[in-house]
Amino acid sequence: MKTVKRIPLAGPVLNGNEREYVLDCIDTGWISANGKYVNQFEQKFAEFCNVKHAISVANGTVALHLPLLAYGVGPGDEIIIPTFTYIATANAVKYCGADPVLVDCEENAWNIDPQKIEEKITSKTKGIIVVHLYGHPVDMDPILEIAKKHNLFVIEDAAEAHGAEYKNNVVGSIGDVATFSFFGNKIISTGEGGMITTNNDELATKMRLLRGQGMDPNKRYWFNVIGYNYRMTNLQAAVGLGQLENIDWHLDQRRRVANAYIEQLAPYSSLFTMQPEMPWAKHSYWMVSILLTDKVKAKRDEIMELMEKDGIEMRPLFYPMHHMPPYFEESTYPVADRISARGFNIPTNATLTDEDIAYICNRLIHHCQNSI
């Protein structure tokens, strides 16, 4: 049997001090949620995002839950989110008993469409969660303006966008709060893990309290509120610190990969287009994303299957939230529907060689040309 080399879609690269720091945790016994790496990782991440507070948590989903709790979001409240996102954005709202209110995305960078937000605001609306999709920042200025006008908070879900920039401001520092994920396929990883960033002192204090079961900071084992155990361990933070020390390298590699794809695929714009990088944006290229044009007769899934047979791991773009049973609505989100149905991600990881990229482009062009 012919064995085809398999090119993975994503995966962590742990080529810095991660091993040394993890071994230090094991040698010293500091493997739980207390320890120097948690503090160092938080401090360094706050510097990286140019904010006062970085609060580490167990994953990127609870990173969204905590600020919603800290803002007092509860039953009867509405939170505006893009329909075109990962399920965690919607679920975190539901964990509070509140309702996510969906908004379509815009045609350019596929992020929440600022022009369609105001029509969804009601007297119950408390805030907006924007998602920097696939590493491309959201056009934040119009959203901040709407939020100010209607007295809403803005959370950036930056789970996919570490190091992306909007008008030279790094994401994580633009809204009232931002959240990050360090799952294994994200830009940097701790296995499972997350981070919250903010400049708001009061909110940071509340979130730290809720993260640690709500224990009174001035009286140990005394609890005035119902909190959660959402802590990150020192072991995870040890990996995270090693990753963060090298984040410029990780981002450079992603840009190298993305630029190689752009160079080789751009001449075939009649077959497919790519999520662009807007003039005001610095993309962090979590995942390079491709849209098939109508000229390609095959279904998206058929092209993906052919690529998989060539040993290339593929991934469909997110299914919009309004298609999922828990959030189902008859569609009034034509842009998200169109993009989601015709798009996929191609391998985007720091270890891809020029040869891998040329092979992936070659197969993609071949299958699409065979289908016109």
| Contact present, 251 and 110 (Cβ < 8 Å) | no
Q: Which residues ranging from 89 to 108 are in contact with ligand PLP (CB under 6 A)?
A: 89
Looking at the Cβ atoms of 127 and 368, the one nearer to ligand PLP is: 127
Burial, 5: exposed, middle or buried (Cβ in 10 Å; 0-12, 13-18, 19+)? exposed
Q: Sign of the C-alpha dihedral, residues 253, 256, 262, 264? A: negative
Residues sharing a CB contact under 8 Å with residue 26, sequence separation 6 or more, in sequence order: none
Answer for the pair 57, 79: CB distance below 8 angstroms, yes or no.
no
**Which residues, 272 to 331, sit near ligand PLP by CB under 6 A?**
none
**Is the distance from CB of 16 to CB of 243 less than 8 angstroms?**
yes
The nearer residue to ligand PLP, 61 or 348, going by C-beta atoms, is 61
The first and second tokens of residue 146, run together, are: 């709407």
Tell me which of 100, 127, 163, 194 binds ligand PLP, using CB under 6 A.
Answer: 194
CB of 18 to ligand PLP, least distance (A): 18
CB of 315 to ligand PLP, least distance (A): 12
CB of 85 to ligand PLP, least distance (A): 5
Residue ranges in 120-159 that form contacts with ligand PLP under rule CB under 6 A: 131, 157, 159
What span, in angstroms and rounded, lies between the C-alpha atoms of 244 and 239? 9
Q: Using CA atoms, how far apart are residues 188 and 162, in angstroms rounded to an integer?
A: 8
User: x/- binding map, residues 239-268, to ligand PLP, per CB under 6 A?
Assistant: ------------------------------
Residues 53-72 that bind ligand PLP (CB under 6 A): 59-61
Q: Of residues 21, 37, 86, 333, which one binds ligand PLP by CB under 6 A?
A: 86
Region for residue 231 given its phi and psi (left: phi exceeds 0; alpha: psi -120 to 50; beta: otherwise): beta
Minimal distance, residue 63 CB to ligand PLP, in Å: 7
**Of the candidate residues 160, 176, 310, 337, the single one contacting ligand PLP (CB under 6 A):** 160
Q: Contact residues for ligand PLP (CB under 6 A)?
A: 59-61, 85-86, 88-89, 131, 157, 159-160, 181, 183, 194
